Amino acid sequence: MIDKESLIAGLHDAGAIRFGEVSVLTPGQTAMHIDFQALASRPMVLRRVARIMQQQAAELTYDRLGAIPLGGLTIGVTLSLTIDKPLIYPRPLSNESNAGRLIAGEYKAGETVLMIDDLILNGQSQIEALTLFQIVRLKVTDLLVVLDRNMGGKQKLEEKGYRVHPILTIAEILDTLLQLHKISPEQHRFLSEWAAESSARQTGKPDTGSLPPGSLLKGSGG
């Protein structure tokens, strides 16, 4: 069983989930900051992410892991060590010493790769990595990610035939932090509406509500 409550609490305490202080939101403002690269300095939380991904990966068939830099690389390495599966990842194209080598690590054409990333926004970074893996004749059917930001990326990837397995959603994070008294009911309402409006702007779906004038979001509670 996946213990999402402990994971969300650990992510919050590690600073991977932070909240800004804003009044009435305007386009472009961010009320909720997600930075999973902060986990590089929090091995306990990083191991928890890897153990949960291990449970999800147990039901999938693949030959090796593929991490999407930079967000998925630390998580991919940790998962690789946890389940003892080899890891590959796209090389930086600007590195001249790697000319002719698109992928770091060993692999064989035709192998199936389980892709790892920290979060999905509009799906563009995942699609770029998947295209690169297709060029070297690697097969990808599944992607494991920590968070789906509900910005249309998951749907875009699924329309292309990929199966996307997120551990968390924004709604689960906010609901859990409310239950743990990490945020107040007012913050929960404000953040939920902000997330819904952000998603609507990205996906083109109608807004489900609007933020009331004069609303104030303080830093995280408790």
Q: How far is CA 101 from CA 29, 104, 125, 135, 180, in A?
A: 39, 7, 19, 12, 47
Angle between helices 185-203 and 170-179 (to 10 degrees): 180
pTM: 0.84
**Angle formed by the axes of helices 170-179 and 4-13, to 10°?**
80
Query: Which token pair is 36?
Result: 């999973």
Cβ count near 172 (within 10 Å): 17
Residue-by-residue pLDDT tens, the chain, 222 positions: 678 999 999 999 999 999 875 444 455 456 888 999 899 999 999 999 999 999 999 999 999 999 999 889 999 999 999 999 999 999 876 555 454 578 999 999 999 999 999 999 999 999 999 999 999 999 999 999 999 999 999 999 999 999 999 999 999 999 999 999 999 999 999 999 988 888 888 776 654 444 333 333 433 333
Domains contained in the chain, CATH given: 4-203 (3.40.50.2020)
User: How far is Cα 165 from Cα 146, in angstroms, rounded to an integer?
Assistant: 8
Q: Where are the beta strands (DSSP E) in 54-155?
A: 64-67, 87-90, 103-104, 112-120, 139-148
- Exposed, middle or buried by CB within 10 Å (0-12, 13-18, 19+), for 180? middle
CB of 64 closer than 8 Å to CB of 82:
no
Contact yes or no for 73/67 (Cβ under 8 A) = yes
**Whole-number Å distance between alpha carbons of 54 and 51:** 5
